[in-house]
A and B are shown apart, each in its own frame.
Chain A
Amino acid sequence: MSRGQNTSSTTSAANAAILAAALVFATLPLWADKGLVFLAGIVMVQIVFAVSFNLMFGLTGLVSFGQAAFFAAGAYTAAWLGRAVPELPFLIFCLAGGLVGALLALLIGVVALRRASGIYFAILTLALGQLVYTLIGKSDALGREDGLVGIKRPVIDLFVGTLDLSIGDRYYYFLLVACGILLGLLWWVWHGQLGRLLAALRQDAERIRFFGVNVRRYREIAFIISGGVTALAGALVAPWSQIITPAIAHWSYSALPILFCLLGGASRFWGPAVGAIVFAGLEYATRTMVGVSELIVGGALLVVVLAMPGGIVGTLSLLARKLTKNGKERLNEQSA
């Protein structure tokens, strides 16, 4: 991709937007009602979910349709451990959730990445994801269809003292920090050496293979990181919503990150985040209208996919580039 001299102004505009969004999320409990704060917490987790999914989708170019399985694996592991061994610290539950998600991704990746690619990979991951969904929904230890209820918000031991996250909006701020750290990690992967290699795999896997790179292994690594971070997001959401049901393992939950990515723009790191926020806004605005809600969400999605292939972020940056270009040309004409 060629970069014009106006990139810096677009980048600074984007940075300003990210900063503004982070500020809105950080100050939300001060001015918004409880329902909105709860929704914002869910959206933060969904942003991590979608951005980690995009490591496979936007960066590596593989559509996994079973991502919800990892989210559920993380959430159920953390919640189940919280019941079985409540004396252990909360961070252990989260890490265990992430680990289980990464292991599950390793397993599914070995099966699905072996030969399948493209649409077959999508359907194979869908089938395996549904397998996890069915297992969770029929398992007594995980509460069958009713899920696990009454999940407690934890007390964290900080060595100098303890921090009770069940009070007020504390867990919200904890989520904010945790999601920020996870996004930072993903940012580092996306922009680092591994990220560049994965992007190259998307563009021309055959050529990369000729350079002596084990293509399948790197796809598996991407899948494991993606699944592990998704599972961490799931582990974080359990104490926030305080109830988890098999719905978070269902295929329609796997469709969410794909939706966010295409809505926001899969080729940019922050695209899925924009998609998640816009989608939540649409749903929130139409929540009371039975049927109309689906029509608006489905219609908006259809229009974006058909008319804006780069998603919202892609289209905006294209617009910005055109605008600044026109402005510069006009400036040049005036000076001439």
Chain B
Amino acid sequence: MASSPHLNRLHKEETAVSWNAYFRRYWQLYALLVLPLIYFIIFKYGPMYGIIIAFKDFNFFQGIVGSEWIGFEAFKEVFGMRDFYLTLRNTLMLNFLDLLVSFPAPLILAIMLYEMKVQWFKKLSQTVLYIPHFISWVIIGGIVYQVFGTQSGMINNVITSIGFDAIPFLTDKNDWLATYLLVGVWQSAGWGTIIYLAALTGINKELFEAAGIDGAGRLKRIWHITLPGLKSTIVVLLIINLGHMISIGFERPYVIGNLAVREYSDVLSTFVYRIGLQSGQYTLATVVGLFQAVVGLVFVLGANYTSKKLTDEGIM
């Protein structure tokens, strides 16, 4: 297009003026953004930059920049470590079993709460069931040792007092696994009901009345109305959980785990902590962390994609 130089200049001036006006009008909003953006750059993107030490022989004296490049040497070393596969297996195993046990629990509990007609008791039990969610893993760990301890734990006191042998809940790896899972249910089941109860408020009450007139019993109503009403919530939550298969919190396995059951309790997060911060093998630990982050990202994006396909609704 042939535009005269005069027109071009005018246009430029106009943009300059409007930019000026725009900025004068909005500078306060940009001023608000400054500190938060600095925060994101330093504390979120800084560590991302730090990932390059996975490809360097890192030590603190030479720093991130000064340390020597080693390419994929550290990856080779990590993928040759027995403990890497052990902790990877344990992470997947604990998460999978957790999903099996801890996923249905809030669903069942929510339906029981939904069916509870005695309002004061419903409120009371909700209040109690939510409490564990607010208790730190350190405290839960302390409670677990008092309750499940072999020598003086509450449960074993009962078991031995009726003449059976004490069960090493915390020191035998299979018993420990059961303990770990049960504690997970105890901690999360109550809180998990909230999302289901919210979804249940969306179910049309008339459906229940109609079913009642048709002579459908309570269990039938749960099966034919309540559960179908929760289907999309269940699917989305299941997919989110599958997306997090490889990521595992540090505190739960670290606090409940111990040396006697390390074969099961050592997971990727505790492995990173052990080789990184306790043994100072920063490069190796970063490689493990990077592996986990990348695989985790693929899982989550895959889960999000699947969720979109199935429910026309993304997770994010």
Q: Do A and B bind each other?
A: no
Give the interface of A toward B (CB within 8 A): none
Give the interface of B toward A (CB within 8 A): none
